Amino acid sequence: MRILITATGIQDYIFNITERKASARLRGRSARLGLVMDLCLLLLQQEFGGAVEVKRNAGSRLEVEIPSGIDAVRFLDNLRRELDEHSHRDLNGEVWFAIGCAATQDEAYKELDDGKFAIGKAILQIEGKWEPEQFVFERWPSERALQNPEDADATTLPEAVLGRDLVEMDNHLINFHPVFAPLREQLCMLGQAVEVKHGRVFDGFCVALQDAEGNTVQQTHKRLARYAPQGRDGQLLDLDEIADLSTGAKFLGVLKADLDRLGETFKNLNGEDSKKLSEHLEGLFTDGLENLIRSNANYGHIYVVYSGGDDLFLLGPWDKLIRFIDEFHSQVEDSLKDCKPKPPTLSAGFKLAHPKSPVRFLADDVEAALDDAKGRGVEPTKLKPKNRIAVFERVILWDELKDGLIWADRFITGASEQNLSRGFLQRLQYYSDLFRQFFDEGKIEGLKAVPLLQDDWRRNIARVKEPLKTELTREVQPKLTELGEQGERMWRVIEFASRFAIYALR
C-alpha cells in the first residue's frame, strides 16, 4: 500500500517575507516544511515499525510503502487532523497538507490530487460544512510588531533561530520532543518542539523523535542543503549585503532550476533502480551542490534557499550565481548521462533583482523565467522546450551559456585593457534585438541590422588591441551576418556575453 504526503502553498509561505533580516527566516521557512515530512515519517515508523519502506523523502513530499494487510486508516485520519491543525495554528493558513493512500502508486496519486480540492477540511469543516469562523487567522504579536522596526527584531523569531542553527556546521542533530504548552518563542509542529543541536558528524543530519524523558524512540537520517553566507560576526548576510559582493552592478541574482522528464525516467525503472536514482538525486542536489559551493571561493556568497530532490532555489551575487549554475549543470549532465532510456535534463530560470525587492516578488519573477526555459512561458524562440536556461530575459542553450561566459570574460578584459568600446557592447544589444526579430519572428525588417552592424564593426574593431581583435575577426564576425543556424546561435552567445560584460563593467 502506497502512502503519499505533500504540501501546497509552499512558495507563498516561504517567500512571504518583507521585513528586515530576511536571510535567516528564509532558511528557517524552507527547512521547516521538510521537517514536517521528516516528523510524519518518524511517526509512521513509530506506528508501523520496520514495515515502512521509504520511496521518497525530499523537499515537501513523502512517499512510503507499507504491506497491504496493515490497517492505516485510523492513523492517517489522526495525522490529517494534526497536519490541518498545524497549518491553521502555526502556518497562518498559508500551507496545507494532503495525504493519499491506496493499493497502488497511481491510485494513491489520484487520491492525493482529489484531497487537494478539500485541503484543511478536518479543521475547517464542522459536521461536513465549511465553518467561516475557522478561516480567520491571527498573526502572532511578534509578526505584527515587525511592521514597526522599533518594536521587534526579525532575527528573534523561531523560524529565524532555526535558520541560523541549521547553518552552523557543528549542528547535525534535529530532535523532536513532546511539548504540552507551546510557547510563542518555540518552533513546534504536530505537538512536538524542534531543537537543533551539536552532534557527531553524520552523513547530513540525524532527525530523532524523543519521548517526554528525552529518550530517542525513532530516528532517521537526511541530507539537507543548508549553506548560507555568514559575516564576520557569525550572522547570516542579508540580501543587500550579498548583492554588494557582485562584480560591477550591485544586483542580487535569483535562480530556480529543476530536472526535466524525471517522471518519465522513473516510470522506466524497477523499484530498486528507482530508489537508487532517488537517493542519487538527493545527494546530488544537497551534498553535491553544497560541496561545489564550498570548494570554490567565488561561490562562497551564494545562498541556498532550498535544494533537494530534483530542484533548487538560490540567491547570490548575480555574476557568481550565473557561473555557478553553468558548472553545476555540467555536474548534473555528467552524473545522469547513463540514465536509460534518456537522461533527465536541467532547466533553469535566472533573474536580476534589486536586493530591497520583496522576496515574494523575486520568487514570482524567477518562476516565470523557469517557465520560459521549459517552454511554458511567453518568450518567443524556436529552441526546443526544456534543457535550457532563461537569463537576461532570453532563452539560451547550456552550451551557449558556457561559450557566452568565455566571451564575456574576453569582453571585460577587452574593455579594460584592449580598447574595446563599452558603447559598442551596448549597441550589440540593439543589433541582437533586430536579428531576433528576423530569426524568431520572421520579420524581414530585422535585417536592417546587417549594414548597421558592418559599419559599426569596421569603425570599432580597427582600434581594438590584440589578441581580442583577431579573435573577434576570426571567430565572431563571419557568423554574425550569416542568416542560418550558426548566425542565430552566435547572436544568442554574443547577446548574453555583451549583457554580462556591460553589467560587470558598471
pLDDT tens figures, 8-55: 888 878 888 765 667 888 888 888 988 999 999 999 999 998 899 888
Q: Please name which of 62, 55, 83 lies closest in space to residue 270, comparing C-alpha atoms.
A: 55
Each residue's pLDDT tens digit, 83-112: 998 988 888 888 999 999 998 888 988 888
> How many contiguous H segments (helices) and E segments (strands) does the chain have?
19, 17
7: nearest Cα among 62, 52, 44 = 62
* 477 closest CA partner among 393, 405, 430, 407: 407
State yes or no: pLDDT of 268 exceeds 90.
no
User: Phi/psi of residue 101, each to 5°?
Assistant: -145, 125
Output the CA angle 328-238-326, nearest 5 degrees: 15
Site of grid cell 530534483: 310
Do 411 and 420 touch, CB atoms closer than 8 A? yes
For 410, left (φ over 0), alpha (ψ -120 to 50), or beta? Answer: alpha
Q: What pLDDT does residue 440 have? A: 83
Among the listed residues 374, 333, 370, 386, the one whose alpha carbon sits nearest the alpha carbon of residue 256? 370
Q: Which amino acid is at 65?
A: E
Q: Residue 338's pLDDT is what?
A: 84
Burial class for 320, CB neighbours closer than 10 Å (0-12, 13-18, 19+): buried
pTM over 0.85: yes
CA 28 remoteness from chain centre: 15
Say how far apart CA 402 and CA 47 lie, in whole Å. Answer: 51
Spatial distance between the Cα atoms of 110 and 101, rounded to a whole number of angstroms: 9
